[in-house]
Amino acid sequence: MLTTGQYAAEKQPRPRKKRKKKNKAGTMMNTLSYLVFILGVSLLLAGFFIYVANDVFAFVKEEHVVVLDLPDNASHSEVATMLKDEGVIQCKWAFKLYAALSTDSDTFKSGKFEVSSDMDYGQIINTLNRVATYTEMVDVTIPEGYTIQQIAELLEESRVCGADDLIETANTYPFKHEFLQDVPMEENRLEGFLFPDTYQFYVNDSTVRVLNTMLNNFNNKYTDEMRELTANSGLTMREILAVASMVEREAKLPEERATIAGVIYNRLNNPSEFPHLDIDATVQYALGEHKEQLTQEDLQIDSPYNTYVVEGLPAGPICNPGLPSILAALQPEDHNYYFYVANPEDGSHLFARTYAQHQENVAAMQALAG
C-alpha cells in the first residue's frame, strides 16, 4: 500500500521536455538561397541557349567577311575550326552538329569561299557546298537609275549570280543595316538602296555578299550631313529615295534635277489641289517595261507605284538613284512650278505654274514632235 507521501510523489507531474523553436529566419534564408540558386542556373542556361542560338541563326552579329581556302575533303571538324579561328562562328560543336544533321556528306569541297559572320549556319553551309569557287573576278558597273530587276539581269549576264536568286535574296534575307530596319520584308524592299557604282565581284558570287557590298556602299555614300537633311525634311530615308528615284528617271539634264524635285515637293505640299503627282516614270515602273508612249489605259494601271492613281508618294523608290539625284531630293529648288513637260528633241523640260500654261507647253511640244 502506498503511503500518502508516496502517492503524492507518484502523482506529481513529470517535467515536460521543451520543444525547440523552429528558426523561421534560417528557413527563409535557406528557401531564398535555393530560389536564388535556381534563378541563377536558369539565367545561365537561358544565356547559354541565347548565345548558341545567336551563333546558329545570326540574329545580332556584326558583319565580318572572310575567304576560306578549304583543302580537299575538309571534314566538318576542320571547317568548324577554320570558321572559329576566322571569327565567323563561336560554337564549333554546334556547327559540327548542324552540319552533320543538314548535309549528306562528311566533308566539304575544296576551293575558296567567301563567308560572313552575319550569315547563319545554313547559309554558310550552302555557300561551302557550291560547286564553283571564288577565284575569277569581274568588274560590273551599275548605271544610275537601274531597277533591281535590271541589276539582277546585268549581274547574271556578268556571271556573278542568277537573277532570280538575287531577287529572292533581296526580298527575303534579313539584312542588318540600320536604314533597312523599318522597311517591311516585301517585294522590291531594296529598291533605291543598291548604290550605282562600279564593283568587283567573283564569278558565281554569293547573292548575300553582292547585295551587302552595294548596301554597304550606299551606307558609306549617304553621309551624316545627308542624314541630317533627311531628318529635317520630315520624310524617311526611303521616302527621300522615292523622290530621288523619280528625279533620276524624269530628269535628262543634270541642271534640271533640283527643279523637278521642287515640282514634286510643291505638289506633295498641296495635296488638296494636287492629290496625285502624275509622274510618268512611276507608270513605267508599274508596267514593268519602258514604253515610249503611255496610253490612257496605262495611266490607270492598278499599282501602289502608279502616281496617277495613288495619292502622294509611290509605295517605294522606282529605281536606284545616283548621288546627284539624291542630293536634288534633299535640296530641291525653291520655285512655284507645279507642271512640266519634256522636249522630245533634247529631253529638257518646260515648267509651268498653272495648268493653262502647262497646256500651252504641251501643245508646243506636241507640235515640235510633229
**What is the tens place of the pLDDT at every residue in 27-42?**
777 777 767 667 766 7
Helix, strand, or coil here: 87? coil
Measured CA distances, 334 to 186, 235, 322, 331 (Å): 35, 18, 21, 9
Same domain, 208 and 118: no
pLDDT at 239: 97
The mean of the pLDDT values for the chain is: 88
Same domain, 124 and 211: no
Helix, strand, or coil here: 12? coil
pLDDT by residue (tens digit) across 99-144? 898 888 888 888 778 888 889 998 888 888 875 455 688 999 999 9
Last residue of a domain, one of 131, 160, 176: 131
CATH number of the domain where residue 90 is located: 3.30.1490.480
Q: Which residue carries 562528311 as its cell?
A: 106
Measured CA distances, 322 to 85, 145, 146, 242, 290 (Å): 39, 7, 10, 12, 20
**Residue percentage of the chain with pLDDT more than 90:** 59
Task: Tell me, yes or no, whether 363 lies in a domain.
Answer: no
Task: Tell me, yes or no, whether 23 lies in a domain.
Answer: no
pLDDT tier for residue 1 given thresholds of 50, 70 and 90: very low
Task: Tell me, yes or no, whether 360 lies in a domain.
Answer: no
pLDDT at 333: 97
Maximum CA pair distance of the chain? 151
69 vs 148: which has the higher pLDDT = 148
Parent domain of 328: 224-335
Same domain, 108 and 95: yes
pLDDT at 129: 83
344 vs 110: which has the higher pLDDT = 344
Q: Which residue carries 534575307 as its cell?
A: 173
Q: How many domains does the chain have?
A: 3
Region 216-228 average pLDDT: 96
Whether residue 5 is predicted with pLDDT greater than 60 in this model: the reply is no
Helix, strand, or coil here: 19? coil
Which of these, 23, 98, 47, 108, lies nearest to 72 by C-alpha position?
Answer: 108
pTM score, whole prediction: 0.69
Beta bridge partners of 114: 67
Other CB atoms within 10 A of residue 245 CB: 28
Check the CA dihedral 295-296-297-301 and report its sign.
positive
198 vs 15: which has the higher pLDDT = 198
